[in-house]
Amino acid sequence: MVTETKTRTFVDEICSIPGGEGIKICIQCGTCTASCPNADKMDHTPSELIAMARAGMKKEVLSSNAMWYCLSCYICTVRCPRGIQQTSLMHALESLSIQEGLVHTKTVTPTMYRLFNHYCHLGVLPELWFMTRFYLSTNPLRAWRMIPTAWGLLKHGRLSIRSRKLTPSGSNQLKAILKKAESLGGLQ
Ligand code: SF4
Ligand code: SF4
């Protein structure tokens, strides 16, 4: 008996992550790119990323800076004529990029995700310490430059010195969400 084994393509990999499925039905109309407020900072626009992924350009797509510039504003998702969840697709590419060790050298977003994850597991969110740790572990010089901003936020009550504690039920719900995300291949 002959058994046929189908090789998993890059598109299949993207489709296996929730939010990535839409990649197959894109018509390359460019509406997402035209709507994206950060497209000019991306080395490849949102619609270009889809075209490249469908062409099998895995390394180029996963090492792009584009998904890390995504603001999660959802404009592309709202406007896509095919109903593609482009924002989720960007996050799917972030996950794959981390899994494959191809994160763009200049992005510090995974560090922020990891720190946030760490504090969620502890059931606290010490805003000031969280941001201080983030800047110290990514760009200590920038930490100094952010002091006036932090001071302004503190004065207006937009940043808290005290740690916010999650309620036990909120903490459990968040841990369940993180566990599910990790089981789907998310950041650990
Ligand atoms: S708006 Fe939707 S269909 Fe058009 S290029 Fe973007 S993802 Fe594809
Ligand atoms: S969600 Fe991301 S990709 Fe979509 S328009 Fe906003 S910034 Fe651009």
Any atom of ligand 1 within 6 Å of the Cβ of 26: yes
Is 46 buried (19+), middle (13-18) or exposed (0-12) by CB count in 10 A?
buried
Considering the domain boundaries, does residue 3 fall inside one? no
**Domain match, 47 and 70 both:** yes
Q: Between 139 and 72, whose confidence is greater? A: 72
| pLDDT given for residue 35 in this prediction | 97
Buried-state track 114-140, b at ≥16 Cβ within 10 A, e below 16: ebebebbeebeebbeebbebbbeebee
**Final residue in a domain of this structure, among 50, 71, 99:** 99
Any atom of ligand 2 within 6 Å of the Cβ of 67: no
Q: Does position 37 have pLDDT exceeding 60, yes or no?
A: yes
Give the residue-averaged pLDDT of 110-135.
Answer: 89
| pLDDT given for residue 188 in this prediction | 58
If one residue of 50, 70, 77 were mutated to test the ligand 2 pocket, choosing by the most ligand atoms within 8 A of its CB, it would be 70
Any atom of ligand 1 within 6 Å of the Cβ of 82: yes
Give the residue-averaged pLDDT of 68-75.
Answer: 96
CA-based nearest residue to 20, from 92, 98, 118: 92
- List pLDDT tens digits, range 76-100: 999 999 999 999 999 989 989 998 9
**Domain match, 14 and 90 both:** yes
**Domain span including residue 73:** 10-99
